[in-house]
Each structure stands twice: as structure tokens, then as C-alpha cells.
Structure 1
Amino acid sequence: MRVPVKAMLGLAMAVTVQLADAQQATGPLSPVEQQIVAEIHAHAPQALELLRQSVLINSGTMNQPGVRAVGKLFRDQFDALGFQTRWIELPPEMRRAGHLLAERPATSAGRGKRLMLLGHLDTVFEPGNTTPAWEPQPEADGKVLRIKGQGVSDMKGGNVIIVEALRALQQVGALEGTRIAVMLTGDEEEAGDPKTISRGDMVDLAKRSDVALSFEGSITNKDGMAAATVGRRSTAFFELEVKARQAHSMGVFGPGGYGAIYEAARILDAFRQQVVEPGLTFNPGVILGGTEVGYDDAASRGSAFGKTNVIANTVTVKGDLRYLDYAQRDRAQARMREIVAQSLPGASATVNFRDSYPPMAVTPGNLKILAQYSQASQDAGLGPIGAVPPESRGAGDIQFVAPYIDSLDGLGASGGGAHSPNEYLEVPSIERSAIRAALLIYRLTRQD
């Protein structure tokens, strides 16, 4: 399966045109926008302190009390900004803490785009993790430009940026009459199943919004330009089951057939060579083969038994499948099924697929929001914003809402090492990202 390049070239052309539009000469900030920027600068120490407080509360996804405590910390911030807040409970059997929802009070004089802002309260660092929670990294002159810690950039820094952007708007009177909702989920790192429930309120909010902005970490693209996310690949799974005749190994390649392991190897290598498109990947994460195989999905652990003088009769393969859009998914799945059906003698196989996170397709609407974000950044003297290739980011909450509304991700803090003991945040990025976000929100809430 080779590349249908016309669509890819068209997409590249659209990105280039949109960014060219966004990179026109910097325009002046209005007096109100100048006040917004000044408010963010003035409040920078308090913003860093809010980040510190949130990071010192362990909120690993499975630590429900910790997630709720971080939710309470941010809920207090939104209450003080005049938002109506509530905690969304999830069924106890899902073993998740729930989500925080904050909304501007509804008014008949509402104006501008209806915005939903997304963040998450949880981290991958469960209680007992030895990674230091908060570890400033001072420079030679004593300045702290980088902080290491649990979830500093993924994504408690992003949550703080949401608060700081909205606080600046509130201070200059620019929140009045706006229609803004904020959802901070409690299980982004490991979303509860079924996702129709764990993400049901988010989808409902999207259906009554116009634009979604998500504050996962900001990154730099290959050209060294600050970049935001206009597309993300799906997260899905495949399961390959292979059966064969068990027999003495001396008969392999003959009447006894090739066995399940050779058949699995044939299939996987054919996937690698024949199911090829830009942005499409599939990873066989675990494989078990022999005459007795068992796999525990909940524990992601399995066992296998076999002897070297016996032709293996069974193989199980578990893997993930990531695609840019549903058309690409359907092409890949169809070709994979064709490959599976071309069995070696004495063997047979089946492949099954399961979707998890939907893809966030690159759309003209997403590119338009990126162009406006880039223009706001340039107007503030912070330079243009490029686009992150969809295949370079993992799954995120925004993918559940992107099918319904224009969406942009990556508005959060800059840093690196996410999900590792070396996770860090660049301190100046709190101010930079809050300024960009506040200006974008201000302008969107004044558009029809």
C-alpha cells in the first residue's frame, strides 16, 4: 500500500499558506491587550507559586485523593475569577477521581466564540515514585530558569497558564460577557473505560462550543520554531491470533506445516513491508508463542510454554495502531486482513482491531486557529508559531472533541523529559504561553 500523495501535498500547501498569513509584519497591541500583557508579567511570581503548590500534591492517575486535592486547588482559582465550578464524579467501578468543570455564568448578552479550554490534573507519577516532586535548577548567577519535577510540564504548568491567562483577562474587565468553559480531567494519562462515560461530559461540552484550546506542553519543531498542534494520530490496538497443527519438529516445512511462529513472523514482516503510509505506524508490543500461551490483558503480562522439538500451535500478538484519519485506518486494516488471510500450509490466523482515542485530523479550521495564535504571538513580540507534525505527538484529550469543533493543542509550558525522572519545565515559558493564550482568547471572544 503506497502513499496517495495528493492529499498530503494539499495539506502541506494549506499549512504553508496559513503560516505565511500568520507571519505578516507584527501589528501593535491594543491598549487593552497591552494591559493584559502587563498583568501577566506582574503576576509571574504568584503563578510560579501556584505551580509549586500543585506539583507538591501527588496526583498520579490512580491516586484519587491526590487528584481531587489538585482539583480543589485549581477550583479555588476559578471560583475567585467568577466561574461556576463543579466536580464531575465518575462511577466508582471506573476507579478514577473525576473531572473539574469551570464555566462562565450564562448571560443573554454572551458574545464571541464559545471556548473550551482543556487541561488535566493527573500525572504518571503515582505515590511512592522516587522522582523529586519539585527541584529548581539554579543557574550560575542564581536565577532559576528550569525546574524539574513530577508533572511540571505535563501538565500542571499548562493548568497554571490557563489560570494566568484568564486572571489577566479578568483584571482588565475582558471576561465579562464571554462564553468560556474549562475542563481539567483527572485521568488523561490513563483514561477510564468506557470512554463514552469518562469523556462523555467533554464531548457534550464540545457540542456547545466553537473552539477547543488544549494546554499540553509547547514544543519546538525541527526548524527551531515554537510550534502548536493542529493534528494528532489516533490510538488504537490490534490483536493477532495464530493457530497451527502441533507435530514433531522433524516434519516442519513438510506435512506438519510451518507452525504458528513462522506464520506469525510472515504476517508481521508483511505488515512492515506492505502496509506503508506517512503517519501510519503499528507496533507489536508483545508476542507469545508455543504450545501453551496465556495473556492477562489487565496486567499486560503473559506466559508461554513450548519445546524445541515440537511445532508450535499458537501465537498471540498484542500491538498498537496509530493513524491520521479514519480513511487511513480503513485502508490499513483492509490490507492487514488480506495479509493475514494468505496463510502458510497448516496454519491460520485472525486479526482484530479496537479503537481507543479518535484521530485529530488537520482541518482548515484548526489551521485558521493556529494562524491567529501565531499572529497573537508575533504581535506580543514572541515570534511566530509553527505546526507540529501530527505523527510526532501522542494521544491527548483534545482528540475526543476535535471531530466536533476547531481545535488547537500545545498551548502549555515548554519543557521536556515528560513521564520520566528528568521531566522539566522552562520557567519563562509560563509567562510567554500565558501571554499568547490570553491574547488569543481575548481576540476569539470578540469574533462572531
Structure 2
Amino acid sequence: MTLRPFASLALVLATPAIAAPPTPTERTMVATVDAEQARTLALLERAVNQNSGTRNLAGVKAVHDIFAPEFAALGFAVRWVPQDSVGRAGHVIATHKGKPGRKRLLLIGHLDTVFEPDSSFLMFERIDAEHARGPGVADDKGGDVTMIAALRAMAKAGTLKDANIEAVLTGDEEEAGLPLDAARADLVAAGRRADVALDFEGLARDGGRDMGSVARRSAGNWTVTVSAKSGHSSGVFSEFAGDGAVYALARILAAFRAELPEPNLTFNAGLIAGGATAALGADEARAEATGKTNIIPAAAVARGDLRALSPDQIARAEARMRAIVARDYPGAKAELTFDNKYPPMAPTPGNRVLLARLNAVNATLGLEPMGELDPLKRGAGDISFVAADVDSLAGLGPASEGDHTPRETVDIPSIWKQAKRAALLMSRLAAEKR
């Protein structure tokens, strides 16, 4: 893990300069975001109306075709990086070369949504002056247009010219291709080049208050498979027959619930099956089982997820789970496997200093300071793949509700607020020496 470059700035952030009023350049950025509201909203509508479910490879590429010209017009060199090897469409990588020796910023968004072409939720709908509904209207096409609006404001004010910025919009954030090492290689490499990472997924709110995201938990899966002696049910619990696979699996899951809990750790059991036969389907999202009431079940399987805040917490939970599965279960044997997907974005001093920098922008804009969001209230995301290498801040996209459902609705005014925040924050960071 690299040293956190902003940690040494903590004392500086306590000075009255944080509350300085906007400079003429910053006022230009604010005015530009407001002046281009109609243009930004039209871009969002166009992107939302192009289906880009993760498995709609052509659709994801078509969203690249919508956003790529926006970056190119701002002086970015734009590349499309195909991901055929992992069964996904590809990623957009847009690079803006500024003044040598200045801080390098990584901006993260994604092109795909959870809504595939067979969804009934396919079109942008303006609900009223402050709300719009549609697939990906917030997650993450709303975040992508917020990023572009901020960059356009920087260009208008002249702060983009010298900025070193790399934007990576992945094409499979909602269902990452496998193996992950290949699917996220370009993003990880970009993180290692950067000094700061800013993620444009949605703004989190708690009790109506805007919150900053300095941490995101991991996302991984586990599977417990149990095999046992079978026989006539009249012999269940006997020394010869044992308890069967279902009781053994139930004891394992009960032990997980009783012995694993600690702050910021969750471990959901999402799918379970047992009987004379039991097996997961090929997609691991369904299971099949057969059995009769008078047959001791010979097989059982459970699949769930594990979410934690740090690599140490993941290792600790996995060790406890292995110990539980290795215990003696009469007449049965259990196996446990893990499939770790998204790493954690642990809270670090460097991440917290970035939030302080954002709160300096809030003070300039006359906005309330943002506290730290409880990581239990946010899922995993692409920024976690770079968080071990660079100071990171998530949640620079718009506020919304109903994400991943046919009720996904974006708070339109939050797009303008977030674009202003991002434009000022990026301009200030990009002007600093590495």
C-alpha cells in the first residue's frame, strides 16, 4: 500500500482559509453548471434511453458512443478497452494531460445498469421539475453526466487546461466479468497512476443530510456444501445414520449467526436447498433439490455473501467460518468455499482528509458540512479496487431513491449541487503539486 499523500495536510485544513468565498474562477464554474442544466439533462435522457444492461454488450458500447464525444470535446484522449476475454463489453478510459508535476486525479463511473433489454423499465420519464425516473437515471448515468458537467464547468473557467485527469467508466460494474483480475486490470493500473480517486456513484443521505463516503465494504460470496449418510428416516439421529445433511447445515448456519457478528460485518445466507439430492444451478442463483419425508437427506447446500470493512476483518471472519464448518456433524461432512469479488474500501486518514477538502468546498458554496456515512449504509463499488493504492472518496454522483428497481428516481437539483462540488474540488486538487 502506498503512503497517503494528503495525510500531512490535516493541520492545514483547520485554518480559516477553508471558509474562503468563491474566487471569480469558482463563480464561473458555479454559473456554468447552472447555465447548462438543460444540456446536461438532455444528455442524461439520451443515455438512459439507451439500454445498457451489463449483458447487453452492444448497448453498453452504445453508451460509450454517447459519452466519448463529450470527453473528446474537452480535450481528453478517449479509448475503448474491449473486455471480450471476460464476457463483457468494455471500458471507457479518457485521459487529459495537464501540467507536469501536478496531482493526478482518477474519476470513476460506469456505463452499465442492472436492467437488461427484457426489462419493462426502459425509458427516461420526467416526473416533475425536481425528479426523473428511468433505468440508470442515477446509478450510474446520473453520476456520469454529473462528472461531465463538472468537467465542462472546469473547462469554461480555465481550470481543466492544466489538470491531469483520467476517467474510467467501466462497462460491468453491476455484474463484473470474471476473472476479476482481468476485468479490473485497467482500473487498478489507473489507480496506481493517480494521487486521488473520486467515485461518481450516488450521493448518500442520512436523515435528509448529505453525507460523505470515505469507506465501502467488500462484497464476496461463500458456499457451504454438506454430504451425509442417507437411509430410512426411522433411523435418523442414530449412531449409525447420523443427523443427515439438512440438520448439519442448519447447525452450521446457526453457528455463523451466533459466533461471527462484529461491527461492520454482515454475512447473509441467500439461498439454501437440501434433500436426497441438492445442487446449485449453473448460474448459482437457483438450486434444485429432491427428497421425501421418509428419507434422511444426503445433500444440502447454502450460498450467501460476506461484507466487511477491511482485509483483516475478512480474514478473521473466514477463519471463524472455516473452524465452524470443520466441526463434527454426526454422519455428515461439510465443505466451505469463498469467492471474494469486491475488496473493501477501508476508512483511512487520507480518505478523511479528502472529505475535509470537500467540506472546504461546501463552506465556499455555503452548504452544510458533510459527515461520514456509516459504511453499513453503502454497498460495494469499483472504487474499492483502487482504494488500497490511492486516497479515495465516493458518492460524488446525484442523490436518488429506488436504485436497482423500477422506481429508480434521481433528485435533479442534486446533479447541479454535486457538479459544483466536484468542479471546485477537482480544480483545487488538480492545481496542487504531487
Structure 1 residue aligned with 2:3: none
Match of residue 418, structure 2, among 425, 433, 437: 433
1: CA distance, partners of 2:246 / 2:328: 12
Distance change in 2, residues 1:291/1:104 (3 Å): same
Q: Which of 49, 71, 80 is residue 78 of structure 1 equivalent to?
A: 71
SS of the residue 1:395 aligns to: coil
Task: Classify the secondary structure of the residue corresponding to 1:115.
Answer: strand
Q: 1:88 to 1:25 in 2, by over 3 A?
A: closer
Deviates more, 1:322-331 or 1:405-414: 322-331
Q: TM-score, normalised by structure 2?
A: 0.94
1:101 is aligned, of 93, 106, 113, to 93
> Corresponding residue for 2:36?
43
Whole-angstrom distance in 1 between the partners of 2:182 and 2:314 = 24
Q: Which runs of 5+ in 2 are unaligned?
A: 1-6
State the one-letter code of the partner of 1:98: G
CA RMSD of aligned residues (A): 1.9
Asked if structure 1 preserves the Cα contact closer than 8 Å seen for 2:162 and 2:431, the reply is: no
> Do structure 1's residue 319 and structure 2's residue 304 form an aligned pair?
yes
Count, aligned residues: 423
Hey, what does 2:27 align to over in structure 1?
A: 34
1:368 to 334, 337, 353: 353
Confirm whether residue 340 of structure 1 aligns to residue 325 of structure 2. Answer: yes
Contact 1:267 1:340 in 2 (8 A): yes
> Aligned-pair distance for 1:22?
9.8
1:84-135 deviations in whole A, cap 9, x for unaligned?
Answer: 11111112x5331101111113x6x424320000111111111131125111
Aligned partner (choices 243, 246, 260) of residue 227 of structure 2: 243
Shift of 1:155: 1.0
| Residue 330 (str. 1) matches residue 315 (str. 2) | yes
Q: 2:384 aligns with which of 399, 407, 423?
A: 399
Q: Which amino acid aligns with 1:243?
A: S
In the alignment, structure 1 residue 112 sits paired with structure 2 residue 102 = yes
The residue that corresponds to 2:199 in the other structure is 214
Asked if residue 134 in structure 1 is aligned to residue 124 in structure 2, the reply is yes
State the one-letter code of the partner of 1:365. G
- Give 1:300 deviation, angstroms: 2.1
Amino acid at match of 1:32: T
After TM superposition, the structure 1 stretch with the greater mean CA deviation from structure 2, 121-130 or 72-81, is: 121-130
What residue number does 1:176 align with? 161
SS in 1 for 2:166: strand
**One of 260, 265, 271 as aligned partner of 1:286:** 271
The aligned amino acid for 2:144 is N
Distance 1:149 1:22 in 2: 43
How far apart in 1 are the matches of 2:420 and 2:379? 26
Query: Taking structure 1 as reference, are residues 59 and 281 closer, same or farther at Cα in structure 2, changes over 3 Å only?
Result: same
Query: 2 CA distance for matches of 1:270 and 1:23?
Result: 53
Query: Unaligned stretches of 5+ in structure 1?
Result: 1-13, 139-143
CA distance in structure 2 between the partners assigned to 1:433 and 1:384 by the alignment: 13
Q: State the distance in 2 between where 1:275 and 1:22 align.
A: 43
Find 1:232's aligned residue among 197, 216, 237. 216
Are 2:137 and 1:147 equivalent residues in the alignment?
no
User: Normalised by the size of structure 1, how large is the TM-score?
Assistant: 0.91
Identity value in percent: 45
Give the Cα separation in 2 of the matches to 1:179 and 1:252.
68
Runs of 4+ in 1 over 6 A off after TM superposition: 22-25
Residue in 2 aligned with 1:5?
none
Cα deviation code 1:264-305 (max 9, x no counterpart): 111100110111101111111111111212222325222111
- Give the superposition deviation at 1:347: 1.9
CA distance in 2, matches of 1:345, 1:154: 48
Aligned counterpart, 1:3: none
Q: Give secondary structure in 1 for the equivalent of 2:88.
A: coil
Map of 1:400-415 to 2, 5 A cutoff? Answer: 400-415=385-400
| 1:26-85 deviation digits (Å, cap 9, x = unpaired) | 321112111111111111111111111111111111111211111111110011101111
**Would the aligned equivalents of 2:49 and 2:122 in 1 still touch at CA under 8 Å?**
no
Is the deviation greater in 25-34 or in 64-73?
A: 25-34
- Looking at structure 2, the residues matched to 103 and 344 of structure 1 have their Cα atoms a distance apart, in angstroms, of 57
